Amino acid sequence: MIPLETIVTAPDTVAGKPVIELAGVTKTYPGGVTALRSVDLVVDDGELLAIVGPSGSGKSTMLNLIGTLDRPSRGTVRIDGHDVASLSDRELSALRARRIGFVFQQFHLAPGRDALGNVADGLLYYGVPKKERERRAEAALVRVGLGNRLAHRPHQLSGGERQRVAIARAVAGDPALLLADEPTGNLDSASGAGVMELLRELNEAGTTILVITHDREIANGLPRQVPMRDGQVI
């Protein structure tokens, strides 16, 4: 078993090395429903790609396995070099908190906290002092173009701005991997285009980004597409 400290203090991912490795991954739920069937996937450090497919294709199950929110029934899942099957729940939590950032269709912002507080709260697991959390949060908000919205609460922000706060929260800890699940699903076309441009900029700065989407137009705008249907990569 890999010590928790190995995950917490893991060195930066080596450029060009896989951040995600799935080999023969199958996921079967109670009742015999198979959501993924013998899926193989390798995502190298620095890639920007889309997992694309219709509802029921297995995209959400893929997200849960890559995000270490679930374990496979068969096969191997390695994230940032760590074999998920070899980790305890506590070690998985550490890996998830330190090395994976999540952005969802729903923004999941605390309504009573301003933008700075929402992003800083995402760093609580890191055990750093409040001042340092706020410094990192401010830097992340500046990075996503919201340096002038630090004190604004979610109801004072547009949909696109709320999603930018969510992205800032996800990248404040400098994760090896950013998982974006339908990140434009609740946005108008202009705001959605702005969010996708931001994700491209973050990728150009070195973040590995995987976008889960049913929208082929969004997927076609990214360098790599992984199409799915009926639980398989096609």
- Three-class SS string for 99-110? HEEEECCCCCCC
pLDDT in tens for each of the 234 residues of the chain? 444 444 444 444 455 689 999 999 999 999 899 999 999 999 999 999 999 999 999 999 999 999 999 999 999 999 999 999 999 999 999 999 889 999 998 999 999 999 999 999 999 888 889 999 999 999 999 999 999 999 999 999 999 999 999 999 999 999 999 999 999 998 999 999 999 999 999 999 999 999 999 999 999 999 999 999 999 999
Evaluate whether 163 touches 180 at the Cβ level (below 8 Å).
Answer: no
- The CA–CA distances, whole Å, from 39 to 46, 108, 136 equal 21, 30, 37
Rounded Cα gap, residues 123 and 115, in angstroms: 13
pLDDT for position 16: 60
Q: Which residue has the tokens 């150009």?
A: 204
What's the CA gap between 60 and 92, in Å, rounded?
19
The predicted pLDDT at position 181 comes to 94
C-alpha 76/C-alpha 149 separation (Å) is: 43
Tokens (6 digits) for 210: 């995987």
**May I ask the CATH architecture of the domain 4-233?**
3-Layer(aba) Sandwich (3.40)
Query: In this structure, are residues 104 and 61 in contact, taking their beta carbons and an 8 Å threshold?
Result: no
